[in-house]
Structure 1
Amino acid sequence: MSKILLFNKPFRVLTQFTDQEDRSTLADFIKVPGVYAAGRLDYDSEGLLILTDDGRVQHQLANPAFKMPKTYYAQVDGLISDEAIERLRRGVTLKDGPTRPAQAQRVSEPDWLWPRTPPVRYRKEQPTSWLQLTITEGRNRQVRRMTAEVGFPTLRLIRWSIGSWSLEQLPPGQWREETVHLPKSKPALRSKPGERPRSAGARRQRR
């Protein structure tokens, strides 16, 4: 049994605990010793980040070989076309090679969306649209590069889920603790549900 923390990373927070440039880091929100990020989420992206104290869990979550699906909501510049969505579904060719096929669909602005500080710039003459995109890779800035490649640059990016874990009922800047079990015969993860979100200053419950 291993511990994981599900954290809703705010905009402009580094996915590390220290920074020489005095930018906001995980240390501003998480006071649990011995955990580290399993994978990364860009400084200018928001949403689900998983932290763990177990190297095996980190390997399964971060290693592309396990093809862990990650779902994002992207606000893009312009009204995204059916042609662009179909290209994303087939996979696009980036500088580091073709991407795997993705699940992509146009969606309404999510009703769970929180305000961002600072907000996305607004131009009345240039509308925006929302896209739900699920990928099974983890390249650097991959979603942003994919939407730019099809002609619709990303303005705001939120990771909603990784595998079976999601941001449901988890406000920005808060985290909750769960446990996972790693069967030796199969690279699968199971979570222990039912714990409420906790703020950065919340006291860990004894198990």
Structure 2
Amino acid sequence: MSKAVHRHFKLFKPYGYLSQFQTNAKHEVNKTFLGELYDFPEGTMAIGRLDKDSEGLLLLTTDGKTSYKITGTNTQKEYYVQVDGIVRQDAIDALQNGVSISHKSETYVTKPCKVFELEEAPDFPERAKKIRDERHGPTTWLSITISEGKFRQVRKMTAQVGLPTLRLVRVRVGDITLEDLDMGQVAELNTL
């Protein structure tokens, strides 16, 4: 009996795409799905998700065990987050130590994480939908690295410290980075 050969991919998910291949939900019938970016093999699944408004590194696999191994452990996920306003040190300290967010109608305190301000804005491609213009005030880019993944967690965390997220781009999962990918581009990986 031969062992199944699984395939693994990394994708630079653009803004506006859902992290799935199809839906039965009537309200999502006109949405844009991952299968429109690349001809993935049957049985491919996203490992974790990025919401429609988020961009960046999305891992995909045909192996459910690999998917579980990454989502079911403390694998680090790093995000570059553009927030509204100037970031004060007390906000960074609060994010690093854990903040209370709502999750499934309950209060959840996030685990300690790594947070720092980026010295300069990252060089990402323009987003399809303009974020806003400079005249609306200053923005700051942060690096936030978490080892959990509650629904819209990073957005809820920054909002909790008075810094609404304007743009969120995942740049790393474990040792795999967004490097060498253009927006919407897919690369096949030997292993995950």
TM-score, scaled to structure 1 = 0.82
The answer to whether the Cα contact below 8 Å between 1:104 and 1:134 also exists between their aligned partners in 2 is yes
Q: Which has the higher contact order (CA 8 A, sep 6+)?
A: 2
The answer to whether the Cα contact below 8 Å between 1:8 and 1:48 also exists between their aligned partners in 2 is yes
The answer to whether the Cα contact below 8 Å between 1:2 and 1:179 also exists between their aligned partners in 2 is no
Q: Is 2:85 the counterpart of 1:74?
A: no
Residues 111-148 of structure 1: CA distance to partner in whole angstroms, max 9, x if unpaired? 43111111211251521110000000010000000000
One of 9, 19, 39 as aligned partner of 2:48: 39
Look up the match of 1:50: 59
Offset at residue 105 of structure 1 (A): 0.2
Q: Give unmatched runs, 5+ long, in structure 2.
A: none
Look up the match of 2:12: 8
Say how many residue pairs are matched. Answer: 179
One of 26, 31, 37 as aligned partner of 1:23: 31
Sequence identity, in percent?
A: 39
- Whole-Å Cα distance in 2 between the matches of residues 5 and 18 of structure 1? 18
One of 107, 114, 135 as aligned partner of 1:124: 135
- Whole-Å Cα distance in 2 between the matches of residues 111 and 48 of structure 1? 15
The amino acid of 2:65's aligned partner reads R
Q: Which moved more, 1:95-104 or 1:69-78?
A: 95-104
- Whole-Å Cα distance in 2 between the matches of residues 122 and 112 of structure 1? 17
TM-score, scaled to structure 2 = 0.89
One of 88, 91, 97 as aligned partner of 1:84: 91
- Whole-Å Cα distance in 2 between the matches of residues 145 and 2 of structure 1? 35
- Whole-Å Cα distance in 2 between the matches of residues 151 and 93 of structure 1? 13
- Whole-Å Cα distance in 2 between the matches of residues 111 and 76 of structure 1? 13
Matches within 5 A, 1:178-189: 178-180=189-191
State the SS of the aligned residue for 1:124: helix
The answer to whether the Cα contact below 8 Å between 1:103 and 1:134 also exists between their aligned partners in 2 is yes
Look up the match of 2:119: 108
